[in-house]
Structure 1
Amino acid sequence: MSPLDVAVNGAQDTLGQVQSPGFQADVFEITYIPPTHVIDMKGSIDGGIFVHPAGTGHVLTDADIGKTVEFIIRYDIPTDYGGCANGVVQNFLCTNLVFTNTGGTPLSLTNVTSEWLTRNRYRVTWKIADGDEQFGSINVIVAGGVGRKDDTNIKNTDFELVGVFSIDTKNPTVGSVAPSAATIRSGVPASGVFTLTVAYSEPMDMTSTPLLSFPNQSLGALLSPTGGSWIDSTHYAQNFAVGTVAGTVTAMQAKAALVFPAVDVMVAGARDANGNLQSAGVVAGVFAVNFAGAAAAAAIPTLSTWGLLLLGTLLMGLTAISQSARPRAKRLRRARARAPSGAGRPLSRSQPSKNPSSRCSA
């Protein structure tokens, strides 16, 4: 700062006389020595993929688990190393960082190390872990207390950096699966197309494709996937063609195999907007299947054309046999009616024989 002038006015002597105004130029100078100031905090992985700032930099995701992320904090004035020895790893005991909007140090950042690279550059590294968390914009306070190289008594204060980077190691989940019909049965759905709509917990990558299956029930060919599409970034609709119940189905099979009061649905394979694979999950009792009546009808045996001809021939043969037996029965009944009384009847022991030769002599 330029030299300062001094003006003196208003004093009185012991007799009450006011002094004459006094002035003197260039009496003294004031030199302001500012403390160090944090310029920025930039990070990268794999030696060149920048993770800053939030919104445009690379988001730390599941794909980065096991990698090391490095941040460089830059100061505008050479420092006193914040009380740490130059170039010595200090295990984060020197310059401290406070995450202000994440509830503490994110779980995705582990095994921290730090060191002063120069008097203007401080490096902090973390190993990326699966913290199963999501922060769109992380704010960081760089703790104060760092002095100037030329005057260690002049120290800076805490400084907050906004939107430094982002973390998304959270796997998306299925919130619900909604059926287009609560129960699949004969004639329902009328269109023959059954739809399951999946709702996700967060915006998804709409180029990925969820896979739907039925892990706990054997539906066979009853439902055949015909294609699906994203309704929006959090909803996916999968269509199925509903098969018909036909063929050689026994009554027992009809009752046991085609009735499911509650069908479970598994959803897997989709990824969120940052590429994290969804957590595969099973949603219980999404819809029901009841084809017992239709299957029982299909179980009734039918005859082919040759079978019908054979049955007709057998029936005609039985009719002819029945008709030829009727005259013979009539003749037999007439013959019995003309026979003398007692003819043809066996003799009882109380009746004497009329044959003389059978009597005993005197």
Structure 2
Amino acid sequence: MGLQDYITLVFTDYTLRTITLGTALLGAICGMLGSFAVLRKQSLLGDAISHAALPGIALAFLIHGAKNSFYFLIGALVSGLLGTFWIKGITKRTHLKSDTALGLVLSLFFGFGMLLLTYIQKQENANQAGLDKYLFGQAATLMESDVWILAGVTGISLLILLFFWKEFKILLFDPEYTKTLGFNTRVIDILITTFMVLAIVLGLQTVGVVLMSAMLLAPAAAARQWTNHLWKMIVIAAVFGALSGIIGTGISATQNNLSTGPVIVLVAAVFVLFSFIFAPSRGLLFRQIRFMKNRNNLKLHKTLSVMYEIAKTHKNFKHPHKIKILNNFQGFSRKSLKKMETYQWIELNGQMWNLTDKGYHKAVNLYNQQNIQQDD
């Protein structure tokens, strides 16, 4: 299937349209809520929640006796919330750190979930087939009702985010100050955590337990490289997440034997890699460019300082000097002289140079700044 065929089918084929909308909404809500996990330094919490949801899915099947997305959602939500509050309880009431609590809960819940799945698979019940898809996800099983649930959760999350924006923002950056203002930080924290768990649970069917953490964190990590403003980060993360879902679904649909969930995660990883390299403020490329620019400026300033030391030995600072007297200075180069001439700091005349008014005043400012720093 070509790209044009895929675009046409998105608008005409029910199944492909449903999957594309579902993955786009999932990516958007994961990017939006994942921003809070990244900024609160709770990146591993998503991994723990997704693994903790597995026994809830298995227990929901055992209780209900059939595959039902709604019951699976409730079971995963209860199990995920239970695992999350266990983590917070262990961290608060013991001397264990959060990473230890995350590892314990993740291993315990995932091990229990795998035990239940093994038990279910040994039962003589034809309805149990396909439960293992929640480990790695299967976007093809998305239905229109799932898309409506995703849309509803995304809308409710956005409304609550706007309604409690001030509280979320203060709690995110200064929890202690939030308490002094009289806000109930526990309620706000539970609210954020609940929606994060809900977003993860909704994504299990598409991306799976194993990869859900990456879906939650990758768009937010990519967005963090582009801005220092919270609301901009949330918007960019939501866009990156939605694009990851759409592009990943498109690649999976146009190529044979490619699972949608892993492709979506790989596309999100590409956004992260691109952001790490090309983001203007934090990207490695622009950071290296700024480093080289600062190094070149330092080289020019050192050369100008040496010229100033030479020029101030004469009553007229514009007195010409031979270029070869700079050869003993390590920072000197013909290229730096040409650059200084373009800045109108010096004038070149054959093998001679002299400071200009602009260059002299620049050198005096640098000299005074160096003296101030030495006094400090």
TM-score, length-scaled by structure 2: 0.22
Higher helix share: 2
Higher strand share: 1
The higher relative CO (CA closer than 8 Å, separation ≥ 6) is in: 2
Choose 1 or 2 for highest CA Rg. Answer: 1
TM-score, length-scaled by structure 1: 0.23
